[in-house]
């Protein structure tokens, strides 16, 4: 029964990773690639064929916008292969996700890892990656933070993922009592499922720190 519960939770987690990926793709199509293509259209429509210098400058700009659009579409196609990203390892998956976070230009992001690799199985890495996604998503939506620190490290016999922000913080006990705390409950529950533990520390107006410890092999 425990194995079945774990497999069910893993399947749910994989679906959530894919859902988060699709949300990121939708956001980027609308706010990034859509904007690039709109600028391309506006530039083309503003070309005056009787002004050679103006035409040359506008065509050069259109070429640059088109090349950038192609680059962004290729990056999106890589992002759609969510399972492939996770299979490269937790560190690489987090780095790839942070590329998109930095595009928001809302946060100063610092990722410390010292080339630490989690040597667990793919199932545990998928769950850890989803926990990372959920914590980051909570920061984006609720924390009103400007700085985010992500740290991967090995301490004694534990692999540790720490995520800290300088946002508005919250009352941990109060949030866990409410339905609004389901995200925090998921973090605790899934950490336990991979034989780990989650520590959630926050003080209103003083940010939050969430630490996940997993036995290290």
The CATH number that applies at residue 169 is 3.30.565.10
**How far is residue 162's CA from residue 111's CA, in Å, rounded to a whole number?**
10
Domain that holds residue 38: 1-80
Residue 127 · residue 190 · CB < 8 Å: yes
Same domain assignment for residues 49 and 110 = no
Same domain assignment for residues 70 and 19 = yes
Which residues does 112 contact at the CB level (< 8 Å), separation at least 6? 149, 150, 151, 152, 153
Same domain assignment for residues 101 and 175 = yes
Same domain assignment for residues 107 and 60 = no
What would the mean pLDDT of 114-132 be, rounded to a whole number? 82
- Out of 11-20, 57-66, 122-131, which region has the weakest mean confidence (pLDDT)? 11-20
Q: With H, G, I as helix, E, B as strand and everything else as coil, classify residue 160.
A: strand
Same domain assignment for residues 11 and 110 = no
pLDDT for 166 equals 96
Neighbours of 57 (CB within 10 A): 13
Of 15, 49, 80, which marks where a domain is finished? 80
Same domain assignment for residues 133 and 182 = yes
Q: Which of 30, 29, 34, 61 is nearest to 45 (CA)?
A: 61
Average pLDDT, the chain: 84
Of 63, 80, 97, which marks where a domain is finished? 80
DSSP class of 145: -
Same domain assignment for residues 179 and 100 = yes
Q: Alpha carbon of 143 to those of 27, 76, 101, 168: distances in Å?
A: 20, 27, 15, 5
**How far is residue 44's CA from residue 170's CA, in Å, rounded to a whole number?**
50
Is residue 24's pLDDT more than 80? no
**How far is residue 13's CA from residue 210's CA, in Å, rounded to a whole number?**
19
Give the β-pairing of 108-112 and 197-202.
Answer: unpaired
Q: Whose structure tokens read 């890589």?
A: 78
Q: Alpha carbon of 44 to those of 4, 32, 38, 59, 84: distances in Å?
A: 58, 19, 10, 8, 38
Same domain assignment for residues 183 and 100 = yes
Same domain assignment for residues 97 and 201 = yes
pLDDT for 25 equals 72
Residue 202 · residue 208 · CB < 8 Å: yes
Is residue 98's pLDDT more than 60? yes
Query: 180 falls in which pLDDT band (50, 70, 90)?
Result: low
The number of folded domains in the chain is 2
Of 56, 80, 104, which marks where a domain is finished? 80
pLDDT for 14 equals 79
Query: 147 falls in which pLDDT band (50, 70, 90)?
Result: very high
Is residue 120's pLDDT more than 80? no
Question: What pLDDT, in 10s, does the model give residues 68-80?
Answer: 888 778 777 766 6
Angle, CA of 47, 53 and 58, to the nearest 5°: 40
Q: What are phi and psi of 176, to 5 degrees?
A: -65, -20
């Amino acid at each position: 029964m425990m194995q079945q519960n774990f497999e069910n939770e893993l399947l749910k987690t994989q679906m959530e990773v894919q859902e988060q990926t699709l949300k990121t793709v939708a956001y980027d199509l609308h706010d990034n690639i859509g904007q690039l293509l709109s600028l391309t259209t506006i530039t083309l429509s503003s070309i005056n064929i009787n002004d050679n210098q103006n035409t040359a400058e506008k065509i050069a700009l259109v070429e640059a916008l088109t090349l950038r659009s192609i680059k962004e579409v290729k990056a999106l196609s890589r992002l759609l292969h969510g399972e492939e990203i996770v299979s490269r390892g937790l560190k690489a998956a987090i780095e790839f996700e942070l590329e998109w976070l930095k595009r928001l230009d809302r946060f100063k992001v610092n990722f410390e890892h010292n080339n630490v690799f989690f040597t667990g199985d793919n199932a545990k890495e998928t769950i850890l990656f989803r926990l990372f996604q959920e914590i980051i998503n909570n920061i984006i939506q609720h924390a009103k933070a400007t700085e985010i620190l992500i740290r991967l490290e090995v301490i004694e016999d534990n692999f540790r993922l720490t995520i800290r922000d300088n946002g508005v913080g919250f009352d941990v006990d109060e949030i866990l009592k409410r339905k609004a705390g389901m995200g925090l409950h998921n973090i605790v529950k899934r950490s336990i499922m991979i034989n780990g533990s989650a520590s959630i520390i926050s003080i209103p107006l003083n940010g939050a720190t969430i630490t996940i410890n997993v036995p290290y092999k």
